[in-house]
Structure formats: C-alpha cells, structure tokens
Amino acid sequence: MSIHVFPPLYAQAVSLDQISTPSRVAGVDEGVSTGELGLAARNHGMPLEAMRYDLTPPGLHYLLIHYDIPFVDPATWSLRIDGLVERPLTIDLDTLKALPSRTVRSTMECAGNGRARLEPRPVSQPWLVEAVGTAEWTGVPLRDVLTAAGVSPGAVDVVFTGADHGVERGVEQDYQRKLTVAEALDPEVLLTYAMNGSPLAPQHGFPVRLLVPGWYGMTNVKWLTRVEVLDHAFEGFQQKAYVVRQSADEPGEPITRIAPRALVIPPGFPDFMTRGRVVRPGLVTLEGRAWSGRAPVTAVEVSVDGGSSWSPASLAPDGGHRWAWRRWSYPWQALPGQHVVTARAITSDGETQPVEAPWNRGGFVNNAAHQIPVTCLEA
C-alpha cells in the first residue's frame, strides 16, 4: 500500500491575498457557503421574540466580531490618547471608572443587517433582520477625555483602535474606525465599560468600547486600546469598506447613521424550519419595535396583506430615550388563510421605510420592510 504525502503548507510561499480574497457577489442560485455559515455561527442575531424586552439581555444582543475576541487583562489594560493633543494621556481602567459617567440607552444595529435578503446576495455575514439590540451603556463622555488631553488646533479626525487583529480582503490590520473631531465631541459619545449595569462581556468589548448613539455598529469600536487625533482625514480599511456603492471601482457613500426600521415580533407560534407563523382566528395583537439614527420615528404603519394596504399602529412614547427603539402595537382580527404581516417606520422629517430597498454591492443599509408569512388556522 502506498501513501501519498502532501507537502506541508509552511513549505510553500503564501500571500495574504491568497487566504483573504476580494469581496464578491454570489452567482445565480449560489447557496450560502461554508465560510458564510462559519461567520453565522460566530456572529449571532437577536431572536426576534427578544424585542419584548425594553433592554436586550447581553446574551441575546446581536454580535458582529470581525476577527478574534481578544483576551484582555483588566489589571494591565490601558487606553492611550495621543496624536494631535497637547497632553498625551494613558488611562487605566480604575482611573476611567473614577471619572464622571453617564448612561445612554441606545439601539445598535449592524450596517449589514438584511444583507441575505438581497438578490444577488453579497457574500459576507448572512444577516436576515436580527442584527440588532438595545442596551443601556455606561461610561465616560469621550469629550471629557479629549478636553483633558487638549485637542490641538488643526485636528481633523479622531481614530479608534481595537485590540482585535486580523486580515480582511488581503489587508492585515487592527480594527480601526474614525469620527470627525466635531462628532467625537458630542456629549453622548462614550467610552463605555458597562452594559445594562454590568461590566461588558468579553464579546461586547470588555473592558472598554466606544458608543456612538444612532450610528451603525461598526463605528462602536470594541476592546479599545488607542484614541489618536489626526491632522488629516483617516482612510483606513474599515473606513473605506463601509460604503454604499454599486461597483467595486467606485468610492461609494460612507455609512454613518442608522436608517429607519420597524420589526415585527413574530406572532403566534413557529414552524421549526421555515419560521413561518401560525395563529388562530380572532384578535391577534401585533407588536414590535421601531428606531432610527436619523430623524426620530414618529409613526409606524402595519400591513397584513404584504403591503397592499396600510393601517396606523399605536406608538409608545420614547421615554426620553432618543436613541432607543420604541414599542408599537396593532390589533388584528385574523381570519383563516394565508397572510403576510409587515410594518414600516416613518420619521419626523417624512422619511418612510421602503417596502423594497435598493441593492448595493456590500449589502449595507438594507432597511426593506420586515415581512412575516402567517397562517391563520380554521376555527
């Protein structure tokens, strides 16, 4: 019997772009790949029934982790604030926690939420609509720390570096995002160390992450290690990756604030495989949540016929939480047969969530209305 021995991988010259390929769009009828399944196993969405909680328990809150979850020792962790500042600072965790703090309730959503619903499908984390969660984040206003460091005249951007390191599209990198100086000085932008009153879990950025209320999740950098002030515009990989574009060769429009969205808490009970819902005839209270990082949501409309007709829902007060989702409800007299339940959010400036969102190459900002097939049984 002969045994064929393959040459070991380390004996071959391998470049980063061989193991980290360019972005692409799935072919016609191409199924979800094992790579995408691997991403989906690591990065979980929030079960939609968890919208019944005003604050999403940390274990149910959505997760998107680009690389590995770094192991951080809180006893040795520190945050460096440097660059174009008058007094560079290094702050340890105890010092940060001793500073005046504030708590902001904020809904966080992945910019790729809804990507898997697009056709053709951009190949990446295959989100449906569950990449969202709402928490109360406690921390120190970034503005206070930057003021203590003394931002110098001529400063343009503030760059945030996380401890997570990896390769993406052939580029080795620490995860980095930026805000302009004016955005960074917003008093609600926080260096957070607690989520729903408890220390951040490792997967949520322990010991410290950035919170930028109303912005998509990629800007809320986890596992912070450095805040650097620049005299020029930052053009790092993650800054250029999160853009809306139709083709790979165009610069695209940067993604910032969360588009309006309403989601439906699935009514009745589910089929195991399809998640299609089953209800019985009579009064069914439809409910869900709505939010926007742009103008505030001021109305929600509901349809039980797939968007052919719409009715106003009752929208609960925001309770003074500008950046958090709002509960809505609608009484539906269900009749036997097949139905498609959907909802759409409307903001104070008249922006209405679309029934169908325009396609883009990255599968970003797809806030197409959530649709749930519902079967109403015979009495």
Number of Cβ atoms within 10 Å of the Cβ of 341: 25
Range with lowest mean pLDDT among 15-24, 136-145, 179-188: 15-24
pTM over 0.85: yes
Q: Structural domain boundaries of the chain?
A: 18-254, 261-376
Is the pLDDT reported for residue 16 higher than 90? no
pLDDT exceeds 70 at position 10: no
4 or 174: which leads in pLDDT: 174
Q: How confident is the model at residue 7 (pLDDT cuts 50, 70, 90)?
A: low
CA–CA gap between residue 276 and residue 310 (Å, rounded): 21
Q: Where are the beta strands (DSSP E) in 150-260?
A: 157-168, 171-180, 190-195, 198-199, 209-211, 224-230, 243-244, 253-254
Q: What is the pLDDT of residues 176-208, one digit of tens each?
A: 999 999 999 999 999 999 999 999 999 999 999
Q: From the centroid of its chain, how far is CA 53? A: 18
pLDDT of 29: 86
Cα separation, 112 vs 362, in Å, equals 8
18-254: CATH superfamily: Oxidoreductase, molybdopterin-binding domain (3.90.420.10)
pLDDT band per the 50, 70, 90 thresholds, residue 94: very high
| Mean pLDDT on 254-258 | 97
Residues 300-313 have pLDDT tens digits of: 999 999 999 999 99
Q: Confirm if 373 and 277 have CB atoms less than 8 A apart.
A: yes
In the chain, % of residues over pLDDT 70: 97
What is the rounded CA–CA span in Å between residue 342 and residue 268? 15
pLDDT for res 9:
53
Read off the pLDDT of residues 224-233 as tens digits, 9 standing for 90 and up.
Answer: 999 999 999 9
Give pLDDT, residue 144.
98
The pLDDT, as a whole number, for residue 20 is: 87
pLDDT at 8 over 90: no
Q: For residues 85 and 7, what is the distance between their CA atoms, to the nearest angstrom?
A: 52
Distance CA 74, CA 90 (A): 14
Q: Do domains 18-254 and 261-376 have the same CATH topology?
A: no
pLDDT tier for residue 75 given thresholds of 50, 70 and 90? very high
The Cα 177–Cα 200 span in angstroms is 20
> How high is the pLDDT of residue 230?
98
Between residues 48 and 22, which one has the greater pLDDT? 48
261-376: which CATH topology? Immunoglobulin-like (2.60.40)
The arithmetic mean of pLDDT across residues 118-128, rounded, is: 95
The pLDDT mean for the chain works out to: 95
